[in-house]
Amino acid sequence: MACMSTLDRPQLRQDLSAKPAGTMYTLFDPRGVGVQVNVSAVALHLASQYFDGTRTLAEIFKEAQQFLPNVKLDLETLRHLVNTLDEALLLDGPSFRSLVDCPVRPAICLGTYDDDPDQLRAQLEHLFTAPGGPGLPKVGSRIATRGSERLRAVLVPHMDYRRGNICYGWGFKELVERTDASLFVIVATSHYSPERFTLTRQHFATPLGVIETDQPYIDRLVKHYGEGLFDDPIAHLPEHSVELEVVLLQALFANVRPIRIVPLVVGSYADCIEDGVSPRNSGDVARMIEAVRLAEAEAGEPVCTIISGDLAHIGPKFGDSHKVTSPTLERSRLKDEEILERATAADANGYYHVIAEEADRRRICGLPPTYLALEALKPQRGKLLNYQQYVHPEGHESVSFASMAFEG
């Protein structure tokens, strides 16, 4: 009954966009949740003006007849429009709600990696064995018993596997060999949500199975942080920065031990940079630093953090006026070295200020999760494992990324 009622009072999802498509318009979600639908100008007007969740279909039909007297419309056509938008996940209706409220988040990066489990494992193995790679990891071969040598976190890319290549392998080899944790907190860049911090309770499905999200740990984060961590219900749905790390965790630990994750995505610090203040002095960031610190202290088991973040994004694809050239790459590499030097010293504020001094012009997407992890975990030192710059053959873009280990 609830689903019938929802479709009978259709509500268009917020933050959708429309663009001309010949004589039609394409209605879509810029964040990529759902599929785009081509609609007429009349249908777009009806959806945007009347699908607000307060009117029944009969009421919408009646108003449309009154205010659009020259438009031929029948109730069945209106109902078809509602059903089409619901199936495309563009309504806040049964189809969309079944996705948001489902206990398991489906894989959304298929296509960037293989959907066949055996072929996927071979693809992932290549991240370790390709030229320049670290070789396949030996599980638990270098676990340190002393606190000063204990692995606290790894920084790894979230580029697609083809471009991130062996940089993934270097970071995950360190993780697999140096931790006995079964609980992994994935602190990842948020690419699509306006919220600073967003959690999800959904488990994650991939071709390799389902990995569980640790509910007690999430409860502790909520207890220590406060409200607001679930304000954006779709922040995790289109996001790749957690999923790509999950796939590797599943492949590497499948025959070793059961593992769980805590997926936390972190939004931009652009306001801090603009205001000239350290994120530590922003109330929500300070609360999350403390929440992560306390949640780990109360875990009662080893916890390892995975920082999912890339470095510079430069070139016309990202809004720069000039193509990427060798001098541009060299300048960017030198600035990356400054950033990584501060990360190696586990100096969160120094890391942040190098980026802030250039007003984040190179769009360091790993800034928010890396700063949060360094401040919350307070490791003694970092170690650079691998650094790369992906460059588009025609200079349209370059993205740099690194893998690092943080210990102590």
Each residue of 270-288: pLDDT tens digit?
999 999 999 999 999 999 9
Q: Which domain holds residue 216?
A: 105-407
Other beta carbons within 10 angstroms of residue 106's beta carbon come to 13
pLDDT digits (tens, 9 = 90+) for 177-194: 999 999 999 999 999 999
Place of tokens 């944790």: 181
Place of tokens 């990995």: 211
pLDDT digits (tens, 9 = 90+) for 315-329: 999 999 999 999 999
pLDDT value of position 5: 41
Asked if residues 330 and 390 have their Cβ atoms less than 8 Å apart, the reply is no
- CATH number of 273's domain: 3.40.830.10
Name the domain boundary from 100, 130, 156: 100
Asked if residues 139 and 239 have their Cβ atoms less than 8 Å apart, the reply is no
Q: Give 326's contacts (C-beta < 8 A, 6+ positions apart).
A: none
For 283, counting Cβ atoms within 10 Å of its Cβ (0-12 exposed, 13-18 middle, 19+ buried), the class is exposed
Asked if residues 246 and 112 have their Cβ atoms less than 8 Å apart, the reply is no
pTM of the model: 0.93
Three-point CA angle 347, 349, 355, nearest 5°? 105
Q: Reply yes or no on whether the pLDDT at 3 is more than 60.
A: no
Q: Give 159's contacts (C-beta < 8 A, 6+ positions apart).
A: 167, 310, 390, 399, 401
Asked if residues 112 and 211 have their Cβ atoms less than 8 Å apart, the reply is no
Same domain, 109 and 78: no
Q: Reply yes or no on whether the pLDDT at 406 is more than 50.
A: yes
For 98, counting Cβ atoms within 10 Å of its Cβ (0-12 exposed, 13-18 middle, 19+ buried), the class is exposed
**pLDDT bracket for residue 299 (50, 70, 90):** very high
pLDDT value of position 297: 97
Same domain, 249 and 352: yes
Name the domain boundary from 39, 71, 100: 100
* Percent of the chain's residues with pLDDT above 70: 98
Same domain, 203 and 125: yes
Helices (H) and strands (E) in the chain, counts: 14, 14
Average pLDDT of every residue of the chain: 95
Same domain, 40 and 88: yes
H or E, element range at 46:
helix 41-50
**pLDDT bracket for residue 144 (50, 70, 90):** confident
Other beta carbons within 10 angstroms of residue 41's beta carbon come to 13
Number of domains in the chain: 2
What are the strands, taking DSSP E only, across 260-359? Answer: 260-266, 303-308, 313-314
Report DSSP state, residue 299. S
**pLDDT bracket for residue 6 (50, 70, 90):** low
Same domain, 30 and 145: no
pLDDT value of position 71: 75
CA-based nearest residue to 102, from 296, 233, 284, 249:
233
pLDDT digits (tens, 9 = 90+) for 22-67: 999 999 999 999 999 999 998 999 999 999 999 999 999 888 888 7
Same domain, 271 and 384: yes
Report DSSP state, residue 278. -
pLDDT digits (tens, 9 = 90+) for 354-374: 999 999 999 999 999 999 999
